[in-house]
Amino acid sequence: MDELDRKLLALLRADSRTPAAVLADRLKVSRGTVQNRIARMQAQGTIQAFTVRTRPELEAQRIRAIMSIAIEGERSSAVVRALKGFPAVDRIYTTNGRWDLIAELDVANLGEFSRALDDIRKLEGISMTETSLLLARA
């Protein structure tokens, strides 16, 4: 990955729907160069998905939380695979210290939140969890 790729990724992070012609103009390269680089980064797995960012007031109605997870023995891979299958799990991070994993949860309501907690805590290999609701972005 070179400097042009990094600049292209920065522009795509800001707005992944920016047309290739506009990206090319901003980067001072041809439209074909932009399209080829995006295609290459997708093929290599550098770009894994294009996403949607919604207005903050729409997100305010959702329930978001951080779940800290302790894993028994050498079951990290199996637990991560299982967590990836939960619609409520937005992201998973490995970490050091007291907790082995951090999972970001995102659900529509408290009922979904409660069910997600119950289901995740039942996973084989999880010894302990601690969950904190995210109240406001600072």
Would you kindly state where each structural domain of the chain is located, as residue ranges?
Answer: 3-44, 56-133
The CATH-assigned architecture of domain 3-44 is: Orthogonal Bundle (1.10)
* pTM (predicted TM-score): 0.61
Please choose, from the candidates 67, 74, 86, the residue with its C-alpha nearest in 3D space to the C-alpha of residue 131. Answer: 67
Predicted local confidence at residue 138, as pLDDT: 76
What is the predicted pLDDT for the residue at 104? Answer: 96
Q: Is 56-133 CATH 2.40.30.10?
A: no
Q: What single-letter DSSP state applies at residue 127?
A: E
pLDDT tens digit string along 62-107?
899 999 999 998 999 999 999 999 989 999 999 999 999 999 999 9
Per-residue pLDDT tens over the stretch 11-65? 998 888 999 999 999 999 999 999 999 999 999 999 998 887 766 555 557 899 9
pLDDT at site 28: 96
